[in-house]
Every structure is written in C-alpha cells, then in structure tokens.
Amino acid sequence: MEQNGEMSKATLRRLPSYLRYLYSLGRQNVLTVSSTTIANGLGLNPVQVRKDIALVSSVAGKPKTGYVTKELIADLESFLGYHNTRDAVLVGAGGLGRAILGYDGFRNYGLNIMAAFDVNENVIGTEVNGKPVYAMDKLESVVKRFKIRIGIICVPSISAQSIADKMVEAGIKAIWCFAPVHLNLSPDIAVKGEDLAASLALLSMQLENRD
Amino acid sequence: MEQNGEMSKATLRRLPSYLRYLYSLGRQNVLTVSSTTIANGLGLNPVQVRKDIALVSSVAGKPKTGYVTKELIADLESFLGYHNTRDAVLVGAGGLGRAILGYDGFRNYGLNIMAAFDVNENVIGTEVNGKPVYAMDKLESVVKRFKIRIGIICVPSISAQSIADKMVEAGIKAIWCFAPVHLNLSPDIAVKGEDLAASLALLSMQLENRD
DNA sequence: CAAATACTGTTATATTTTTATCGATAAAAA
DNA sequence: TTTTTATCGATAAAAATATAACAGTATTTG
C-alpha cells in the first residue's frame, strides 16, 4: 500500500484534511462514513473523495453505508507514514523554534525532533521540552552520526541560506524553512517554505475579495 | 489592478514565491529579470511565470531584457495587499501564540495583531511584544469595537472549535487555525488550517518516495 | 419478497492548468 | 547596417484534474 508515483499533488494535499475530518467523526463515535459526507464536510466533490480514497486505501466502501471510519483512518495514517518514525534537527531556538520544539504533537505524525542548534550562548547547553540545544558547530557531527535527513530552519531570514547550506553539507535531504526567503539549493533537496506571514496575507486577501 | 475572481488557487500560491525570489534578486541589485530566470530559480515553466505575471501586473516585459525588477515587486506587493493594513486578534498565548505575537515581520505584509486572548490567569494582563493579553470574555467587545475580521487560533485542538465559534459570533470573517483539527463553520467564513505537523510529515514522505 | 434508496466504483466528459509553438521585437553582435 | 539572439505575448496543444453519468449492490422500507 505504501507506494506513490502516480499520486497528484492536489490529492496529496487533501489527504491530511480527510484524516482530520475523520478524527473529528471518530470522536463522535461515527462508525461509518460516506464519500458524500466527507465531501460536504470539506467542501469537495464526492467523486473526488472516492478517487482519492481508492488511491491510498484498499478498503471497499459498501453501498448504503460507506466506509468504516476506523479502517479508513488506519490506511490514511499508514499511507502518510504517521506510523514510521523519522528524526529531524532544528536550527534556531528562538521564539518560533522553541514553540516547535515544545509541540509534542509531532510525535503522532511519526516525527521526532532530536536536537536543536543555535548560536546564542545563553541557550546552548540548555534543554527545551527535553531536547538539547547544541552549538552550531555540532550540527554536522550529530546529523552524520544519527543519519538525520530532515532539517527545520527557524533562524532570521538573513542567516537562512547559510544554515541551509550547512545542513545540506552535513547530509540533510529535506528542509522545512520558516524564514520568508527563497533558498537556493540543489534540486535534489526537498524544500518546503512555510511563509506564515504570506500565508496569512493570502487569507486576508481572500477575505477582501468576497465583498 | 486589485481584482480577483478568475485567478486560480495554484497561481495564488505561486505569487508569494515570486516575490521572495525577486527580493533576493533585489538585494543583489539585479535591475531586470526574465521569466526564464524566475522559472529556473523556482523550478517552474517560463510560460507559466509570464502568465501569472500578466494576471497581476500591467508592466510590459521587454524582449531581450525582461521585466524591471522593482516594478514587478511593486505590482506583486500591491496585488497581494501588503500595502493595506489589516487588524487581527490571536487567541491562545502559549508557545506558538507567543512566537507569532513576537514576530514583527507581519507588519511588512500589512498585518497587525492588535491583541491576544487567553484563559490562563498568569498571562492575562501581561504584554507580549507590546501586545496586550486579555481574558477570553473580552474577545467579543474588542472585535466588535475595532471591527476586526481576522482571527488566529493557537489553542489546543480540544478547544479550537469553541474558540472558532466565539470568534464568528463576535464578527470574525477569516480564521487562521494552527490546531490540527477540522473546524465546522459556515461556508462564508474563510478558514485556513495550518497543520504544521502534517505539513512536515508530507515533506518527509516526499523524501522517502525519492529513493 | 419486491421496490426504493443510498451508496460505491468505473467510465466518460468537461474543465482547468500547464506546456509547447510561433510571430514580433528590442538589444547585442557581427 | 545586417544578422543573430533572447525575450515577450498570444494562441494552440497537451496533460492533469475535476465533474458528471451510470451500472451494480447492500440495506432499508412497504
């Protein structure tokens, strides 16, 4: 069940929202759910929902009742890899970095932030939520020793590129960047920019264009 | 220039990335830029870039040289509404909430978080980055008094729905939710869920499917 | 037990989005 | 000055995505 390749990006973006929706049903003890219900809940087309489900799950929906909620949840979680555990490092233990370190929810998604790195002498050597903060020059050895492939960047924009370069040099293959800058990296590195401000601006723009 | 309506969601998602890329050129004093250059920098198709630009900007690209970087930046900023100022409130002054309150970069995007709200007696009455933290029961009056239409939710998942309901009741029209839950709201409320953990999981999944 | 219903899953169609092609043109090179 | 080159903008083609149509089937209802 775990292979990809022909899955569209749009589908991939919808999958986590199905899961969130199913969780909310699960809390209300809804045992089965139809594609129509999911579609209505999320503002999508039922056929689209059925097709997406067919791509990630082998559970057969039954006429008149739909899918078994629990089975669907299990298949989605498994497809999205929430059961595998993957290690990550974080650079920049400032406000946002500390907030992310403090968020235990990542564990439910199979993600484990092993350690953080910073240049600030005051935080080096401390722990945030049980995770050690090391000096920057330890980054390479930790990444190599534990074969870590995911890096999270929470440093100011000005330093983001150089941190990214250091990560790649150490062996990181996927970067999640919260600094609102364009990172110039080799195309075989997966980069996801999380420009929160731009994201919020987009939302508020959407709002204005409704009037 | 400021109207929407026929702009695709995909285009809308690309616009901020153009802007980030152009900023990075601007810092290097690059006066003009071609669609090909932008496309290569961002891994896109040049024709797509030209079309996107045509939708938001009236600047004419010149053969052999391309677009004037500064003009393009100005048009993108204006289209994305970074010059307008809009007020927002935030509920949940915990780790992530405080990080967001502490981020001054929002101002560059025309966003001003006016105040925060929380249930925790220890933070009520304090300030975070110059922004006051009020008790929850002040939410409605503040939102109404200042006609605020944007709400940011940084509370634990369990309380997210009830906070969202309170926001809508008070008059909020757009919600940016960091709790990884599905919010059940009337369709005329713009909701953007920012499921950070799912987002990171998707990135790391992408990584695995490259091998 | 037959008919109606509410589903699924698949195939077909429509729409949207992306990519390719091409004529026109300003700048650079010959 | 002429030719070449890099680019735009428009139109056409292709690919991807979303929607509609429909046949088949458990479940419920009369």
Rounded-to-integer distance, Cα B62 and Cα A152, Å:
40
The burial of A86, by beta-carbon neighbours within 10 Å (0-12 exposed, 13-18 middle, 19 or more buried), is given as: buried
- Distance between the alpha carbon (CA) of A32 and the C1' atom of C2, Å: 27
Average pLDDT, chain B: 93
The Cα A81–Cα A72 span in angstroms is 14
Q: Using the predicted structure, report yes or no on whether residue B58 has a pLDDT greater than 70.
A: yes
pLDDT band, very low/low/confident/very high, at B189 (cuts 50, 70, 90): very high
Q: What pLDDT score does B73 carry?
A: 97
CB contact under 8 A, A200 and B173: no
Q: Name which of B182, B189, B191, B195 to mutate to probe chain A: the one with the most chain A Cβ atoms within 10 A of its Cβ.
A: B182
Kindly report, residue by residue over B146-162, the tens digit of the pLDDT: 999 999 999 999 999 99
Residue nearest to nucleotide C20 (CA to C1'): B47
Q: Which nucleotides of D are covered by protein (CB under 7 A)?
A: 5-11, 16-21, 24-28
Domain covering B86-199 assigned CATH 3.40.50.720 in the classification: yes
Contact between residue B189 and residue A203 where contact means Cβ atoms under 8 Å apart: no
d(CA B118, CA B164): 14
Its pTM stands at 0.93
pLDDT for A2 beyond 60: no
Nearest CA in chain B to A106: B197
The residues near A90 (Cβ < 8 Å, ≥ 6 apart) are: A97, A100, A101, A113, A115, A116, A117, A151, A152, A153, A154
Closest-CA distance, A137 to chain B, in angstroms, reads: 25
Interval A71-86: pLDDT, tens = 999 999 999 999 999 9
Does the CB of B107 fall within 7 Å of any strand D atom?
Answer: no
| Residue B208 in this model has a pLDDT that exceeds 90 | no
Minimal Cα–Cα distance from B188 to chain A, Å?
9
Q: pLDDT tens digits, residue range B94-114? A: 999 999 999 988 999 999 999
Which of A82, A98, A176 lies nearest to residue B203, judging by beta carbons?
Answer: A176
Amino acid at A164: A
The correct answer on CATH 3.40.50.10540 for the domain covering A9-79 is no
CB contacts < 8 A (A, B): 193
pLDDT tens string A166-195: 999 999 999 999 999 999 999 889 999 999
> Which of B86, B128, B196, B199 is most worth mutating to test chain A (most A CB atoms within 10 A of its CB)?
B196
Domain positions in chain B: 9-79, 86-199
